[in-house]
Amino acid sequence: MVKERYVRNMHQARSSNMRQLHSLKLLVSGHDIDKSLFIPELGESVFGRWLYGEAVLFSSKGCHHCLQNIEEIMIEFHVHFAQIYAIYFGKRAGGLLGLLGLKRKIPEAQKAKARRHYDEMVLLCDRLRQQMNVLNTLIEWLPDETFPELYRMPGKNRAIS
């Protein structure tokens, strides 16, 4: 039962990352998406909290290299995300338009740049999916008695590297 909870939490973290990517797709496709759907800091996102919380516990169980790869992918993912976020939400219109809460018009060159960043993020998500599948396999191979021990381990919320 404990093992299934860890696996479920891993899948929920991965799903949250995919939801964010889908929201970004809508944003770079020209749809008006609410800024509150995006969490700019990796450590504050659902995936980041899982990665630097529960997932770290597996680094001592033969999963360190895989977790390191996942962290590297997510850091690169968030570099691209920050660029898109800055394009769409970084600067508000000044003057009267800004006071009224109206958005500035984003130049086509900036929109094209955001789409390129999004395309890179799609490739990174494919790499992430592959690494998450490897991690899932490694976790499934761990004996069931490992998981209650992990549950009691101190030291959550630390870096993997």
pLDDT tens-place string over residues 41-98: 888 999 999 999 999 888 878 899 999 999 999 999 999 999 999 999 987 555 555 5
CA atoms within 13 A on the CB side of 130: 7
| pLDDT per residue as tens digits for the range 1-28 | 688 888 999 999 999 999 999 999 999 9
pTM: 0.82
**CB-based burial label for 16 (10 Å; 0-12, 13-18, 19+):** middle
pLDDT of residue 96: 56
Q: How confident is the model at residue 138 (pLDDT cuts 50, 70, 90)?
A: very high
pLDDT of residue 157: 46
